[in-house]
Amino acid sequence: MIRSRTLLVLAAIALSACSFQNKYERETGDITKAVMNNNLQPVSGDIAPGVNIPRVKVAEWSDELNAQGKLLSIKETPDKCDPGWHCFEAKFEKRVYLEHMRLDENGKVVNWNFKMAPAAATAT
């Protein structure tokens, strides 16, 4: 009985750890994971109509991000962002990446991109 309660408590803690992300962090995290899986289908409803991303580009992105190891966290960094954009620091096992996302008036993604963070940003 005590063991099952302990497992339930641990499961609740694990689930609550995910709840600290804001909706933009969850959105870009979902896109990042979809790219890493080389399949944008799970997030296709979040992308604005008319935005065309070639499959070969997704495959290239997937190769690059998967080479960085497991995705550890994504944190929004609004102080480092241009107006109209949402900016994030994505921490992988091997490197930190900077991600940028822009939404249309309906909350659909019209632009999402990433780049490797400068070496100074990765030393924390």
Write the pLDDT tens digit of every residue in 43-60. 999 999 999 999 999 999
Look at residue 8 and tell me if it is in a domain: no
| d(C-alpha 124, C-alpha 107), whole Å | 32
Look at residue 79 and tell me if it is in a domain: yes
Interhelix angle 23-36/55-66, rounded to 10 degrees, is: 100
Task: Give Cα separations from 58 to 6, 31, 36, 53, 83 (angstroms).
Answer: 41, 11, 8, 7, 26
Domain count for the chain: 1
pLDDT digits (tens, 9 = 90+) for 81-120: 999 999 999 999 999 999 999 999 999 999 999 999 998 6
Look at residue 1 and tell me if it is in a domain: no
Look at residue 39 and tell me if it is in a domain: yes
Question: For all residues of the chain together, what is the average pLDDT?
Answer: 87
Look at residue 2 and tell me if it is in a domain: no
| d(C-alpha 66, C-alpha 16), whole Å | 26
Question: What CATH number does residue 115 fall under?
Answer: 3.10.450
Look at residue 92 and tell me if it is in a domain: yes
The whole-number average pLDDT for the span 67-84 is 95
Look at residue 113 and tell me if it is in a domain: yes
Look at residue 96 and tell me if it is in a domain: yes
Enclosing domain of residue 56: 21-122
